[in-house]
């Protein structure tokens, strides 16, 4: 049967099993199974002791994931690596392992359980579940913070090169990456633009991990500055860039952050926001699903071009253009209004 001839009830049942598939993938990644089959097929019995699992239960998990192309079971009952399992290895470049793991963590699962409540009330999920914001929860649980940071790094390995390649930084001598994590985006930009100096602006716990991160080869023209973007940003830059930051927050908070950038930017400078830009129509978009994630957890949203235009204007910027990239993100450019 082609997808067009599958009865709607069967299509719906396949979609409803999506959560189960995702949870199986998350468990496989958590156990580290893809790492162990990198160099050759392994049976569940061989792997059980190494990953700390029941052999029969592990076999059933591996068989289930093999049915969607993650691992491949041979006639001898051993499982081999596939292109999909390869990107779940911890040493993959880029790796989706931490992202898969995060999807199965208790806080994440409990957040999605509260979707109906969030839709009814407009409130974030973890405020109800744990009595604190998502970021407060993550920062107070070191293991979750590590998985979250590794997830962001893994995703950044996909989109940072695409963003650095898609935009011409000609004329920009100094740039501040606001809340730029461990600095992978900024490192990609500095590598491609040897005339440029950069500043990574982050909260102290994240900045600590950046000291030995991707920016290490560029420390002769890069500064690591600790601070709170909700209060201020380093002043005197030709450009301010933010990736996956504005989508975390509701409009009033975004306007505050963007206003700090407007106050600090040099004359003729630029604002660069790298996020999904939601297009009209019914086509599938990762951004439309991520929009629900933003609603549930930090309380932000993915935005349309017109929503970005209004947001920029409220903070003293004029949206000049939206630049697609080879990744799912676009670069929304602004200049002082």
In this structure, what token pair is assigned to residue 126?
A: 């973890």
Helix axis angle for 251-264 and 305-314, nearest 10°, is: 60
**Mean pLDDT throughout 3-8?**
81
- Catalytic residue selected from 108, 182, 247, 260: 247
Mean per-residue pLDDT, 173-181: 96
Please state, in angstroms and rounded to a whole number, the distance separating the CA atoms of residues 117 and 115.
5
The predicted model gives 282-307 an average pLDDT of 96
Domain boundaries, the chain: 3-102, 155-336
Whole-angstrom distance, CA of residue 153 vs CA of residue 43: 31
Residue 110 CB contacts under 8 Å (≥ 6 apart), including other chains: 125, 126, 129
N- to C-terminal Cα separation, the chain: 55
Residue 244 is a catalytic residue: no
Residue 317's CB is within 10 A of a number of other CB atoms, namely 25
Q: Is a pLDDT exceeding 60 seen at residue 180?
A: yes
What average pLDDT does the segment 156-182 reach? 96
pLDDT confidence band for 163 (50 / 70 / 90) = very high
In contact, 140 and 309? CB cutoff 8 Å: no
CA–CA distances in Å: residue 7 to residues 1, 11, 68, 273: 10, 6, 20, 42
What's the average model confidence in pLDDT over 227-246? 97
What letter would DSSP give residue 232? -
- The CA distances from residue 41 to 47, 70, 318, in Å, are 10, 13, 56
Q: For residue 184, is pLDDT > 60? A: yes
Q: How far apart are CA 253 and CA 230, in angstroms?
A: 8
- Please say if the pLDDT value at position 43 is more than 80: yes
pLDDT of residue 5: 84
Q: 155-336: which CATH architecture?
A: 3-Layer(aba) Sandwich (3.40)
% of the chain residues with pLDDT over 70: 99
Q: Count of CB atoms within 10 A of residue 171's CB?
A: 11
Please state which of the ranges 34-43, 53-62, 205-214, 328-337 shows the lowest mean pLDDT: 205-214
pLDDT at residue number 3: 59
Threshold 0.95, pTM exceeds: no
Helix (H) or strand (E) holding 36: helix 33-36
Topology of the domain covering 3-102: Arc Repressor Mutant, subunit A (1.10.10)
* Mean predicted lDDT score pLDDT of the chain: 95
Q: Is the pLDDT of residue 210 over 90?
A: no
* pLDDT (0 to 100) of residue 242: 98
Condensed to tens digits (0 to 9), the pLDDT of residues 139-152 reads 999 999 999 989 99
Q: For helices 8-16 and 18-31, give the axis angle rounded to 10 degrees.
A: 30
189, pLDDT greater than 70? yes
Mean predicted confidence (pLDDT) in 48-59: 97
pLDDT at 132 over 70: yes
Distance of alpha carbon 103 from alpha carbon 258, whole angstroms: 30
Residue 19, number of CB atoms within 10 A of its CB: 12
Predicted confidence at residue 208, as pLDDT, reads: 85
Mean pLDDT of 99-111: 97
Number of CB atoms found within 10 A of residue 309's CB = 17
Identify the H or E element spanning 64. Answer: helix 55-66
CA separation, residue 272 to residues 7, 142, 281 (Å) = 45, 31, 25
- Among 302, 308, 270, 304, smallest CA distance to 286 is for 302
- Maximum pairwise Cα distance, the chain: 68
Q: In this model, does residue 328 exceed pLDDT 70?
A: yes
Q: Is the pLDDT of residue 305 over 80?
A: yes
């Amino acid at each position: 049967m082609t997808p067009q001839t599958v009865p709607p009830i069967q299509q719906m049942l396949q979609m409803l099993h999506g959560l189960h598939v995702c949870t199986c993938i998350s468990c496989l990644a958590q156990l580290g199974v893809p790492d162990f089959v990198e160099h050759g097929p392994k049976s569940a019995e061989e792997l059980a002791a190494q990953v700390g699992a029941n052999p029969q239960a592990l076999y059933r998990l591996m068989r289930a994931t093999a049915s969607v192309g993650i691992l491949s079971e041979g006639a001898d009952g051993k499982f081999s690596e596939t292109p999909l399992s390869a990107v779940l290895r911890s040493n993959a470049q880029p790796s989706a392992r931490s992202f898969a793991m995060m999807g199965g963590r208790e806080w994440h699962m409990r957040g999605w359980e509260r979707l109906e409540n969030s839709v009814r009330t407009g409130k974030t999920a973890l405020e109800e579940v744990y009595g604190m914001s998502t970021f407060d929860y993550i920062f107070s649980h070191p293991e979750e913070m590590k998985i979250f940071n590794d997830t962001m790094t893994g995703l950044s390995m996909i989109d940072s090169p695409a963003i650095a390649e898609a935009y011409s930084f000609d004329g920009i001598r100094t740039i501040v990456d606001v809340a730029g994590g461990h600095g992978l985006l900024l490192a990609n930009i500095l590598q491609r633009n040897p005339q440029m100096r950069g500043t990574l602006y982050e909260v102290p716990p994240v900045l600590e991990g950046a000291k030995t991160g991707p920016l290490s080869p560029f420390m002769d023209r890069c500064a690591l500055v600790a601070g709170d973007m909700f209060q201020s940003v380093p002043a005197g830059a030709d450009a301010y860039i933010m990736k996956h930051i504005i989508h975390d927050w509701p409009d009033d908070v975004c306007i505050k952050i963007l206003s700090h950038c407007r106050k600090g930017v040099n004359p003729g400078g630029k604002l660069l926001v790298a996020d999904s830009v939601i297009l009209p129509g019914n086509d599938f978009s990762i951004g439309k699903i991520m929009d629900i994630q933003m609603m549930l957890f930090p309380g932000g949203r993915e935005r349309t071009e017109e929503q970005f235009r209004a947001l920029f204007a409220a903070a003293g910027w004029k949206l000049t253009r939206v630049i697609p990239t080879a990744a799912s993100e676009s670069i929304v450019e602004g200049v002082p209004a």
